[in-house]
């Protein structure tokens, strides 16, 4: 067992012994350990990749216990609001695996045969979970896992050429890596996130991705003492803890965009540009990059701002959901012009979007509402946004009442006063810099030409704040 200043890394033999001890004298069962591992993986994913941006998840499950961890993670991800699909080509039909498959089937989580996977996995999925091989694996991967691993390797090449690419999350050990020596040939998977389980394996020292987490909050004192483990404390009630350095780096900076001699590498379309920075923010560890400030002003022209959550963005605009009886809704009905503001600290970026707001169609609101878990669906029924209430306990009481009333339901009807709005953008400003230095600033303005919306980019050269203040 090796240890840096504050964390231990275990070799393959130690990992096997820890497992044997857990499932022997310490009384754990394999399905318990799988539950804890899968929950840790899903929690770590939830910490970094929001379900609204990274909705579609492919979980590739191997034939052994790491495959089981993947099945459990998929079930939790489903309940966390993601849309998992599973590729489980060499199924273990014994318990607890068979039970996990049944549970997922009952949730209508699709199982995809290898031949039905798209050629480019990134075209159908935002996240790929590599739960193929764990710490007990050795030797060379056999079909079909060898070719699946090659497909994961090619995703990294897509990322290098700035194509839209899925992120890869490896469970415990990146599949194909040597448990101790890591990616020996330098041609293996390069995951964006690694979730080590119980204690990191030695190969994790070679992990170069942005997000390294540890999961498995159950290790008893006797194991810690016997193996002289140094493990970090878990925050609050969390099932995972970030280890390794929190990414301070700006991934756009790594691509050479925001260097001192700023390269104004901007997209022609502001929505593509927005997606690029949103992805950078997420990769850099911004926890909720889709939270935004929405500012509105009614007929009295007095502006009001509040946070809302961006549910989706595409060429048609920016969508969020809210109560149609709220202050913002009243102000939008009086004056449909609004502004959105995003600020992503770790990459020092700010984006302003201004435009015209309309309600989304009932069908769209319906679709979104029905995708929400029951707990969230109840909220707009109970909450009367922006009205005075006589005590918190009344709300809690009503919430409890509704929960009991609907306890046997998986979904309820959308209240008519709750739905989506879409801001159709007319102006964007992208800003990157620090308080004292603006490194990059550019704007997009829209013009209507022959019935088409055409964007013009105004590139504003980098300037120091004193002289840039007028930009």
Ligand X SMILES: Cc1cc2nc3c(=O)[nH]c(=O)nc-3n(C[C@H](O)[C@H](O)[C@H](O)COP(=O)(O)O)c2cc1C
Provide the annotated binding site for (6S)-NADPHX.
65-69, 134-140, 172
Contacts with ligand X, 266-295, as mask; x by CB under 6 A: -------------------------x----
Q: Kindly state the smallest distance separating residue 288's Cβ from ligand X, in Å.
A: 7
Cβ proximity to ligand X: between 321 and 422 the closer is 321
Under rule CB under 6 A, which residues in 379-398 are in contact with ligand X? 385-386
H-type alpha helices, 161-250: 221-226
**Which of these segments, 165-173, 305-313, 357-365, 390-398, binds ligand X (CB under 6 A)?**
305-313
**What DSSP letter does each residue of 34-68 carry, written as one string?**
HHHHHHHHHHHHHHHS-TTTS-EEEEEE-SSHHHH
**Which of these segments, 53-61, 325-333, 336-344, 443-451, binds ligand X (CB under 6 A)?**
325-333
In 3D space, the residue among 288, 221, 11 whose CA is nearest the CA of residue 136 turns out to be 11
Q: Kindly state the smallest distance separating residue 303's Cβ from ligand X, in Å.
A: 11
Q: Answer yes or no whether residue 309 interacts with ligand X by CB under 6 A.
A: yes
**Which of these segments, 158-166, 315-323, 368-376, 439-447, binds ligand X (CB under 6 A)?**
315-323
Q: How many CB atoms lie within 10 A of CB 377?
A: 22
**Which of these segments, 34-42, 64-72, 301-309, 356-364, binds ligand X (CB under 6 A)?**
301-309
User: Annotated binding residues for K(+), as ranges?
Assistant: 66, 130, 175
Q: Kindly state the smallest distance separating residue 9's Cβ from ligand X, in Å.
A: 37
Q: Kindly state the smallest distance separating residue 395's Cβ from ligand X, in Å.
A: 14
Tokens of 51: 């379900």
The CA distance from 36 to 239, in Å, is 8
Q: Which of 306, 352, 379, 417 binds ligand X (CB under 6 A)?
A: 306
Q: Answer yes or no whether residue 326 interacts with ligand X by CB under 6 A.
A: yes
SS3 for 147? helix
SS3 for 347? helix
- Total number of residues shown for the chain: 471
Q: Kindly state the smallest distance separating residue 320's Cβ from ligand X, in Å.
A: 5
Tokens of 160: 């290098």
Cβ proximity to ligand X: between 65 and 322 the closer is 322
Count, residues near ligand X per rule CB under 6 A: 15
Residues contacting 328, CB < 8 A, separation 6+: 294, 296, 304, 306, 308, 322
Q: Which of 85, 159, 273, 323 binds ligand X (CB under 6 A)?
A: 323
Q: Kindly state the smallest distance separating residue 275's Cβ from ligand X, in Å.
A: 20
In 3D space, the residue among 443, 284, 470 whose CA is nearest the CA of residue 351 turns out to be 443
Cβ proximity to ligand X: between 32 and 309 the closer is 309
CA dist list (Å): 53 to 46, 120, 289, 354, 378: 11, 19, 9, 21, 23
From the DSSP assignment, how many helices (H) and strands (E) are in the chain? 14, 19
Q: Kindly state the smallest distance separating residue 331's Cβ from ligand X, in Å.
A: 8
Cβ proximity to ligand X: between 73 and 338 the closer is 338
The CA distance from 274 to 289, in Å, is 11
**Which of these segments, 61-69, 184-192, 306-314, 395-403, binds ligand X (CB under 6 A)?**
306-314
The CA distance from 128 to 120, in Å, is 12
Write down the residue that tokens 């992805």 correspond to: 279
Q: Kindly state the smallest distance separating residue 117's Cβ from ligand X, in Å.
A: 34
**Which of these segments, 83-91, 318-326, 363-371, 392-400, binds ligand X (CB under 6 A)?**
318-326
Q: Which of 205, 327, 384, 417 binds ligand X (CB under 6 A)?
A: 327
The CA distance from 89 to 179, in Å, is 23
Give the up-direction half-sphere exposure of residue 398: CA atoms within 13 A in the CB hemisphere: 13
Chain residues in the site for ligand X (CB under 6 A): 291, 304, 306-309, 320-323, 326-328, 385-386
């Amino acid at each position: 067992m090796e240890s840096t200043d504050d964390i231990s890394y275990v070799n393959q033999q130690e990992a096997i012994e820890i497992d044997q001890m857990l499932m022997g004298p310490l009384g754990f069962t394999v399905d318990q350990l799988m539950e804890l591992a899968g929950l840790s993986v899903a929690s770590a994913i939830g910490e970094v990749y929001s379900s609204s941006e990274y909705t579609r998840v492919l979980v590739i499950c191997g034939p052994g216990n790491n495959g089981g961890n993947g099945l459990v993670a998929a079930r939790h991800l489903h309940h966390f609001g993601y849309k998992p699909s599973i590729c489980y080509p060499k199924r273990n039909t014994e318990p607890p695996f068979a039970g996990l498959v049944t549970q997922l089937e009952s949730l209508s989580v699709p199982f995809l045969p290898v031949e039905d996977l798209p050629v480019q996995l990134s075209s159908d999925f935002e996240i790929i979970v590599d739960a193929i091989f764990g710490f007990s694996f050795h030797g060379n991967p056999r079909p079909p896992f060898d070719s699946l691993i090659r497909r994961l390797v090619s995703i990294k090449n897509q990322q290098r050429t700035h194509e839209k690419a899925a992120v890869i999350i490896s469970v415990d050990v990146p599949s194909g890596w040597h448990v101790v020596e890591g990616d020996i040939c330098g041609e293996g998977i390069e995951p964006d996130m690694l979730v080590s389980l119980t204690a990191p394996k030695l190969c994790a020292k070679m992990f170069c991705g942005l997000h390294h987490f540890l999961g498995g909050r159950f290790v008893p004192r006797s194991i810690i003492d016997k193996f002289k483990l140094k493990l970090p404390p878990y925050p609050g009630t969390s099932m995972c803890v970030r280890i390794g350095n929190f990414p301070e780096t700006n991934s756009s900076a790594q691509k050479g965009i925001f260097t001192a001699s700023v390269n104004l590498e901007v997209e022609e379309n502001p929505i593509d540009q927005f997606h690029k920075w949103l992805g950078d923010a997420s990769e850099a560890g911004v926890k909720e990059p889709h939270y935004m400030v929405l500012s509105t002003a009614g007929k009295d022209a007095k502006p009001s701002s509040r946070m809302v959550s961006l549910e989706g963005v595409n060429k048609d605009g920016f969508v969020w959901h809210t109560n149609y009886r709220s202050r913002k809704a009243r102000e939008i009905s009086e004056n449909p012009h609004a502004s959105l503001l995003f600020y992503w600290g770790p990459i020092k970026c700010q984006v302003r979007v201004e435009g015209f707001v309309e309600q989304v169609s009932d069908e769209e609101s319906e679709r979104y509402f029905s995708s929400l878990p029951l707990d969230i669906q109840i909220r707009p029924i109970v909450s009367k946004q922006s009205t005075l209430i006589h005590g918190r306990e009344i709300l809690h009481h009503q919430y409890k009442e509704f929960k009991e009333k609907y306890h046997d339901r998986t979904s309820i009807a959308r209240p008519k006063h709750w739905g989506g709005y879409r801001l159709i953008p007319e102006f964007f400003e992208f800003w990157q810099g620090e308080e004292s230095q603006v490194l990059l600033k550019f704007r997009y303005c829209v013009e209507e030409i022959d019935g088409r919306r055409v964007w013009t980019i105004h590139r504003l050269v980098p300037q120091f704040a004193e002289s840039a203040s007028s930009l």
